[in-house]
């Protein structure tokens, strides 16, 4: 007899939900609104569980993406022209006390593709067309302002450049060698577009140093 977890002939497809705006009240009890929950869940944009999402949001807005990707996608932002963007973040400061500034490193450049139908791929791969390395550059807590977009620096590289390193993570020196000078938020969309066009012209044949320092 099949268990409750045995796949059935009918695929359980979730219904499409209308995006919440925060004013919705929880039903069945006086538990506040969705906005109350958001304030509880993300009161501090500096936490590791939140500032990665913040960087994705900034890139999403910069390139004019229409909708947020589902959580299991192998990349973070889908541009209107179909370009897939992966956003990696790092920062010198954490929300806890530190004896020294954190090492700048961008991790998990490779990943296994997963889908509800096929499950997880057996091999890791580079799954985006463009990689954005978002660095929060504040070096003192007195200066750290999570809603000051000017405190972010963005480095942009094509998949070909990142894949040629063969690395699963890169330090800031390697990122600078790959990407050159960082850009501001206002320049980000243009740099991504230029990088995407360049990758198409070269056909993705690019060599990169694998020295990671």
User: Is 59:134 a contact under the CB 8 Å cutoff?
Assistant: yes
User: What pLDDT score does 144 carry?
Assistant: 94
Highest mean pLDDT (candidates 7-21, 67-81, 141-155)? 141-155
Integer angstrom CA distances of residue 19 from 61, 62, 69, 144: 16, 20, 13, 31
> Per-residue pLDDT for 127 more than 80?
yes
pTM above 0.85, yes or no: yes
Q: For 51-80, what is each residue's pLDDT tens digit?
A: 999 999 999 999 999 988 888 889 999 999
Pick from 121-125, 144-148, 153-157 the range whose average pLDDT is largest.
Answer: 153-157
User: Do 209 and 161 contact (CB within 8 A), yes or no?
Assistant: no
pLDDT tens digits, 29-57: 999 999 999 999 999 999 988 999 999 99
pLDDT for 204: 52
């Amino acid at each position: 007899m099949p268990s409750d977890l045995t796949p059935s002939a009918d695929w359980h497809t979730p219904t499409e939900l209308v995006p919440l705006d925060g004013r919705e009240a929880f039903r069945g009890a006086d538990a506040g609104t969705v906005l109350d929950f958001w304030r509880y869940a993300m009161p501090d944009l500096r936490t590791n569980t939140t500032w990665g999402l913040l960087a994705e949001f900034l890139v999403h807005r910069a390139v004019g993406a229409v909708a947020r990707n589902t959580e299991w996608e192998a990349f973070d932002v889908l541009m209107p022209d179909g370009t897939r963007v992966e956003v990696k973040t790092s920062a010198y400061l954490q929300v806890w006390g530190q004896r020294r500034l954190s090492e700048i490193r961008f991790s998990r450049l490779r990943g296994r593709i997963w889908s509800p139908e096929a499950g997880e791929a057996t091999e890791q791969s580079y799954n985006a067309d463009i990689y954005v390395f978002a660095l929060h550059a504040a070096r003192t807590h007195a200066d750290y302002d999570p809603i000051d977009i000017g405190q972010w620096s963005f480095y942009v590289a094509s998949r070909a450049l990142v894949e040629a390193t063969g690395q699963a993570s890169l330090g800031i020196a390697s990122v600078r060698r790959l990407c050159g000078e960082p850009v501001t938020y206002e320049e980000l969309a243009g740099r991504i577009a230029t990088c995407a066009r360049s990758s198409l012209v070269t056909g993705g044949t690019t060599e990169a140093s694998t020295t990671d320092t």
